Structure 1
């Protein structure tokens, strides 16, 4: 679903939703974050404190990169393993700086600079972390809970569009069936269609 000038190529698929999408200017609020949330598994098993810590820790790294006109790039899929660090930011940034992320300097014209990339400054990162207020932690918790409650609704919205599309194109017997336990795989629904 590639976005081109605010319009997705493969969403919505159904004529029904395309009409509503146009009438209510859906391209103004249904953008990449909306569809990314639809594809994201809800984090129901993790503790809220851990989710807030992970979100804000990554935000501090992102803020540092932005301040230094850099792009934050992961070295591997799971950049920082947070399971055993007990929400200790010092341990987080040490792991992030050595194993998880690298900084890539951006030029003014947007091209990456060929010069040596900057390094993380642990003291500055700690300062940014300590500037976060309790209110910021509370807002981050509310944001995560809101995402977790909206995720299944948005996912069903996208899935329903697929179902309506099939029915509009002559496939009358189609449905979604849960084929796995949600705890085993959050992507547990299969679209079954009989022609």
Structure 2
């Protein structure tokens, strides 16, 4: 099991004592999923802490009429719905593998045991929620104040791997535009 990304995440962003870090890393198990598989469905409780080790995952809301993409995970990071995980509430989100995906997973009970054993782990939860709130506020601000072309330009500059790895119709949904409009925006930006 390759835990390099996971170890690096904790060692740099959430330093724990080395004994606690080793025990935490060893508590994760590896799971592989195929392209098209769902990792999370709305109304289910996210009871596992899931770390994206490899692959691409889209996160979206769904209703009877359409799906609206809200996030794409292309880098090694946690992809758990922390609100559902922490509060044992049904998720409103769905997650689907856009490629074959490898996750490192630990169950909520085992994770809680480690938090109880190593109090410094509580900072992980606090900082993660703070980061998620900051990202959500920034995303809402961008969605409400920027035009789709500006949003695409930001993706182009800040997340080029996302534009390379995610199908264009999903990018269009994320931007709230049609694939045809996205095509025109891409051509316009490419000609600059």
Please classify the TM superposition score into its range, dividing by the shorter chain length.
under 0.3
TM-score, normalization: structure 2? 0.27
Larger Rg: 1
TM-score, normalization: structure 1? 0.26
Greater fraction strand: 2
